[in-house]
Amino acid sequence: MTDLKFIIGDPSNPNGHAMVYFDSDGIIYAAYVIDLPIKMTAEDISKYVPPIYSEQIDQLEIDKMMSKKNLAYPPGPEKYDGDLISLKKLCTIRKDDLLYGGTIEISNAINSMSKLNQIADEYSELCKIFFDENLILKEIFNESSNDLNETNNKNIKDGSTYSIMNEANLLTELTKIIGEIDYAETNNEKETIRIQVEKIKAIKDLLPTNRKIDEIIFHVNESNEKSKEIISILLLRAFSLSNEDYIKVQELENMLNSLKSEN
């Protein structure tokens, strides 16, 4: 029997996504946990890492990334602007499980993050048990795998997959696509590159024009080291705009201008 305290939801039938809240001196702090339904391996994970970060992430960190079966965001609980009643209503509307994580000392960030990660791991284990024991669910997935693949391909083609994402997720997806393009270039996979560029165009249509996705597409087609550096800065700039960090945006603009002025 799990030690997780479900306020909303059933531990024998977890939804796969949950809000976790904590109490600190009468204030609610919360984070969101997702059990990742897609299995990943460490093979070629580096292709998802933009060049500007590749030297900063060692193999140990990559192994840690691949060993995670879940995602907790933010990495540590953050203050929730509302009361428990509103949090319950939010989870009910979103069909999220709601878990109570107990009390924390919010000033102790490491302990808070550790407690959240432990809850995320326990929640993932519940999801695994549910899937392993639910033979009917397995049969549904096995019987409809071909239909699902066709549907997923269509969603990518018409952009419906991206249309349900928020800006942060779109920019994260864009970063992954750039990494896939870099990997494809090393193997001269022209068709793969073409498909990835079409994905970028679909994302571009969903983002404000000042994110300069057109410029990213231009430099993807240029395919040289300077263009790759510019793309990395443009990605950081887009994230900074999304986060309304305008001081960082200006710093990145200066870097772009300096880089573009070089011969």
Q: Identify the band that residue 141 occupies on the pLDDT scale cut at 50, 70 and 90.
A: low
- Arithmetic mean of pLDDT, 20-45: 82
**Looking at this protein, which amino acid is placed at residue 171?**
L
pLDDT for the residue numbered 52: 57
Give the tens place of pLDDT for each residue, 208-259.
999 999 999 999 998 888 999 999 999 999 999 999 999 999 999 999 999 8
Q: Domain-by-domain residue ranges, the chain?
A: 5-135, 161-261
Q: Identify the band that residue 38 occupies on the pLDDT scale cut at 50, 70 and 90.
A: confident
* DSSP classification of residue 76: E
The answer to whether residues 235 and 178 touch, using CB atoms and an 8 Å cutoff, is yes
Cα–Cα distance between 49 and 237 in angstroms, integer? 17
Cα–Cα distance between 202 and 149 in angstroms, integer? 19
The answer to whether residues 195 and 177 touch, using CB atoms and an 8 Å cutoff, is no
Q: Identify the band that residue 110 occupies on the pLDDT scale cut at 50, 70 and 90.
A: confident
Q: Which residues pair with 28 in a beta bridge?
A: 23
The answer to whether residues 171 and 212 touch, using CB atoms and an 8 Å cutoff, is no
pLDDT for the residue numbered 158: 46
Give the tens place of pLDDT for each residue, 86-108.
999 999 999 999 999 999 998 88
Give the tens place of pLDDT for each residue, 148-200.
455 455 445 546 678 888 898 899 889 989 988 988 888 888 888 999 999 99
